[in-house]
Structure 1
Amino acid sequence: MTTSDLVGLRIKTVRRQRGLSQAQLAHPELSDSYVSLIESGKRTPTPAVLELLAQKLDCSLSYLINGVTAEQMEDIELALGYARLALENGEVQEARTRFAELLANNNLTGLTGLRQETEFGLALATEACGELDEAISILLRLREEDQSPERRIEIAMVLCRCYKESERMTEAVEVGEQMLAGNTRQPWTDQLVELAATLLAAYVLRGDLLRARQFAAELLNAADALGTPRSIVAANWNASTVAYATGHNEEALSFAERAMAVQVETGQPRSIARLRITLLQRRLRARPAEVESVRDGLRAAVVEHEQTSTSRTDRARSHVELAFAEYMTGNYDKAVEHAVTGRSLVPEFGHVLGAEANLLLGRIYGAVGREGEASGHVASVRDWLTPLPHSRRPAAMWYATAETMEQLGDSDGAVEAYQRALACAGL
């Protein structure tokens, strides 16, 4: 049924409940034939006529338009506000439950805008809980509906990000490129720069480094032209990723520092926490002599992630990075603790972070002479990487695994891992 059909049906239902004829409802301002056309859905009443009919029927205008009373609308908006607040505060499971409960409310069915807002919130909360496949399903459903241009860009950005985190780089690139292709003749906006920055990260992880370098320069120019905090952060953050991937560690650190300086002034806690991990990672790779201060920063960052709405994947990354810093400073017990915690936060197998955590555990145990445990952890990397599509990140992990196997004396395992790395790289 169309919106006009639903409005007409509500007017007809309330009129009959009030014991009024069409002529009685119409008199004296309207004709009974006009009321008949409205009730049959053949005419769409103007806002003034709707307000008049609501007064004559002694019901709320909200009910005639949306099928819910003003009180019910207030309850829905309040529930949606609580769900958003839970997500912003890092209570991701609570947020997911609240969004899902609201979607089960029959009163939401006719409120297309609020229902779409609730579904998008559920997708974000589901992503934050680490359920990427389910988040992708919700976003794909939303993408098929009529949306505002701004919301379509938001959906594309989150969908691109979820595909990227799932190592599905082909889909991530397709989503980003399709959306940007439709906006090639429009000026850059904050939203488009953020979407493009997500696409840029997917280029890097897919191994399209030449395209990534070119696109990073384009985004930096766009951000400088816009001069807005959001665009500057997005462009510099991902330019840092490109520089890091191409071995320009000091340049990567410089871009990350610029992004962080702006983010701290204007950003949300979730974004600040995520960028802080990136900045500390870049600093550690560029200046390994500063490992102790980086480790201290990572310890604080882990706490920061627990207190914000970062996803399980983000929290896993913070623990694995801290584990690496603890390993570099010789604090092996703490390194093991954080590597295990990080591994527990990602889905079982099929995630690069799980492989990174196990490889690090293998190196830690190898460093203390526990070769059996070291070999077991390194061998288990295979289980984490095998389900993943071929891309740059799994290729790098297979190569690192091969090197570690060589150090542990597992020549056959090292050969297989090198072969896997070549296959992931398309060689």
Structure 2
Amino acid sequence: MWVARTSSSQGAAAVTTSDLVGLRIKTVRRQRGLSQAQLAHPELSDSYVSLIESGKRTPTPAVLELLAAKLDCSLSYLINGVTAEQMEDIELALGYARLALENGEVTEARTRFAELLENSNLSGLTSLRQEAEFGLALATEAAGDLDEAISLMLRLREEELPQERGLEVAIALCRAYRESERLHEAVEVGERLLIGDTREPWTDLRVELGATLLMAYYERGDMLRARQFAAELLNAADALGTPRAIVAANWNASIVARAAGHYDEAVAFIERALAVQLEHGQPRNTARMRVQAARTKLRTGAQDPATVRTVLHAAIREFEQTSTSTIDQAILYLELACAEYMSGDLDEAAEHAAKCRDLLPRYGHVSGAEANLLLGRIYGAAGQVDEAREHAAAVERWLRPLPDSRRSASHWYATAETMEQLGDTDRAVEAYQRALACAGL
């Protein structure tokens, strides 16, 4: 076996198993026809080389560099058992997988990450393997397979991870739980790292995790906690002064402010977030934030439906070119359907509401309930009462699996109102009763 030589600056942290390192040194030394004394001379003693080869001594980074040079092999091979060419192939494959995910080619990204993880050479490269596993989890989430994405993230979280990687995994896991309507687990993940007797200083990643936790509070209906925590995040982001923290805090604080009826605050927060995002942010979050800004302005009356509709149609192209998840896409089409309904374009509104619903996992997702409720109103406005009642009744199938919360109560109440308007009195009464139960009344 010929092992190519390459320069490297990898440190001692990469040396994980001294006996494997020693075995590789012995193997290459014998392939080169060298004795231990010849390899050692003049810098080292032959007894020291013998101890390294037997795994009884762990060589320092400097000694490893020296031995790699004397053996004319790559340092990466001595440390990880991977040649320079193999390492280059792995890094190239990882780069292609990352690029596919960033460009919204979710299926391609998922395939590439999965194929990379089947490469036996990756097993000894802990950092790169963890990056590939996290990439697979993100691609799986983006494809809408939330249960599998959560499973992948939980397995990864069981490992010893660098601090930043651990926070990234926590953010994605908290988000995936929230998107799955598993709000208790989402809160638990966020609070485990952020809430406690000894708090770590705020960083960009900790603010992002906080913003994800904030949405779990909001969706759980804990508005008092959400308002308090939003204020804490905004203060932390302002103290940091970094674009990433400012965007995360203002983005989700806007949603909480709108839900609390503070419309001017909601618009101000989202406009600040979008302005910073456009200057500094990544395409995926820029596309998602345009939708959130349009949603806020539409629902607070800060912008007319026709203008919002134009913005959302442009956002479709952005979504197609980035790694937005199917949940993100569903929300985009739901907001577009709302804008078209308010503009009087009922056919387009129905088409996009149906597209939203079809993108979501069935059942137990609040956006699916909102889509069916909107379809009920659209068909009711068109005079097609039977179809309207059918869609309104379908809301129940989406809401029943969800936990009781103020958020669920508001959707049950809206469903009851719609059914009442459509003349379906019995179902309206049932929906009103369900709304009261969810509110704890």
TM-score normalised by the shorter chain: which range applies?
over 0.9
AA aligned to 1:150 is E
Q: Which residue does the alignment assign to 1:300? A: 314
1:155 corresponds to: 169
Say if 2:376 is the partner of 1:362: yes
CA distance in 2, matches of 1:262, 1:235: 12
Q: Deviations over 1:203-234 (max 9, x none)?
A: 11111111111111111111111111111111
Residue 280 of structure 1, aligned match among 284, 287, 294: 294
Is the counterpart of residue 181 in structure 1 residue 195 in structure 2?
A: yes
Counterparts of residues 127-276 of structure 1 (less than 5 Å): 127-181=141-195, 184-276=198-290
Q: Letter of the 1:195 partner, please give it.
A: L
Q: CA deviation at 1:286?
A: 1.2
Shift of 1:18: 4.1
C-alpha separation in 1, matches of 2:293 and 2:304: 13
C-alpha distance in 1, partners of 2:208/2:174?
11
Q: Does 1:411 align with 2:388?
A: no
Code of the residue aligned with 2:47 in structure 1: it is S
Alignment partner for residue 374 of structure 1, among 388, 394, 411? 388
Q: Answer with 13-22 or 342-351: which moved more.
A: 13-22
- What SS does structure 2 have at the residue aligned with 1:115? helix
Counterparts of 2:364 and 2:142, CA distance in 1:
17
Higher deviation after alignment, 335-344 or 2-11: 2-11
The answer to whether 1:109 aligns with 2:123 is: yes
CA–CA separation in structure 2 for the residues paired with 1:76 and 1:391: 47
How far, CA to CA, are the matches of 1:5 and 1:183 in structure 2? 42
The amino acid of 1:120's aligned partner reads F
1:381-405 per-residue CA deviation (whole Å, 9 max, x = no partner) reads 1222222233343332222111111
Q: Name the CA distance, whole Å, in 1 between partners of 2:306 and 2:194.
A: 42
Match of 1:420 in 2: 434
Higher alpha-carbon deviation: 410-419 or 16-25: 16-25
**Cα RMSD (Å) of the superposition?**
1.8
Q: Secondary structure at the match of 2:304?
A: helix
Task: Give the superposition deviation at 1:425.
Answer: 3.1
Which residue is 1:76 aligned to? Answer: 90
Between the aligned partners of 1:22 and 1:258, the Cα distance in structure 2 is: 66
CA distance in 2, matches of 1:416, 1:263: 44
Instruction: Judge conservation of contact 1:99–1:118 (CA < 8 Å) in 2.
Output: yes
17-26 vs 61-70, which moves further: 17-26
2:35 and 2:436 map into 1 onto residues whose CA distance is: 79
CA contact (8 A) 2:373 2:415 kept: yes
Q: Quick one: which of 349, 371, 377 aligns to 1:335?
A: 349
Q: What per-residue deviation string (whole Å, max 9, x for no partner) do you get for residues 44-100 of structure 1?
A: 111222123223333221111111100110111111111111111111111111111
1:9 has 2:23 as partner: yes
Q: Equivalents in 1 of 2:300, 2:48: separation in Å?
A: 75
State the distance in 1 between where 2:364 and 2:259 align. Answer: 22
Letter of the 1:390 counterpart: D
Q: How does the TM-score come out when normalised to structure 2?
A: 0.92
Report deviation, 1:417.
Answer: 1.8
User: Residue 249 of structure 1 contacts residue 285 of structure 1 at CA under 8 Å; is this kept in 2?
Assistant: no
Aligned partner of 1:399 in structure 2 is 413
Structure 2 alignment gaps of length 5 or more: 1-14
Conserved? CA contact 1:169–1:391, under 8 Å: no
Residue 338 (structure 2) aligned to one of 324, 334, 338? 324
The 8 Å contact of residues 327 and 359 in structure 2, kept in 1 or not, is answered as yes
Deviation (angstroms), 1:266: 0.8
Q: Cα distance, 1:346 vs. partner?
A: 1.2
Q: Report sequence identity in percent.
A: 74
Paired letter, 1:271 = N
CA contact (8 A) 1:6 1:41 kept: yes
Which residue in the other structure is 2:3 paired with? none
Report the equivalent of 2:77: 63
SS of equivalent residue, structure 2 residue 124: coil
SS at match of 2:82: coil
Q: TM-score, normalised by structure 1?
A: 0.95
- CA deviations on 1:243-284 (whole Å, 9 max, x unpaired) are 111122222111111111111111111111111111111101
- Give me the whole-angstrom Cα distance separating, in 2, the residues matched to 1:54 and 1:385: 63
In 2, the alpha carbon distance for the partners of 1:268 and 1:289 equals 25
Distance in 1 between residues matched to 2:296 and 2:303, nearest whole Å: 13
C-alpha distance 47-364 of structure 1, shift in aligned 2 (>3 A) = same
Separation (CA, whole Å) in 2 of partners of 1:277 and 1:131: 22
Distance 2:132 2:385 in 1: 51
Q: For residue 81 of structure 1, give the secondary structure of its aligned residue in structure 2.
A: helix
Counterpart contact for 1:220–1:236, Cα < 8 Å: yes
Deviations 1:6-27 (A, max 9, x none): 2122223333444544444434
Q: Find the counterpart in structure 1 of residue 8 from structure 2.
A: none
Paired residues, what number?
A: 427
Whether contact under 8 Å (1:193, 1:223) holds in the other structure is yes
Give the 3 Å change call, closer, same or farther, for CA 10–182 of structure 1 in structure 2: farther
Task: Tell me if structure 2 keeps the 8 A contact 1:306–1:315.
Answer: no
**How many Å separate the matches in 2 of 1:69 and 1:15?**
16
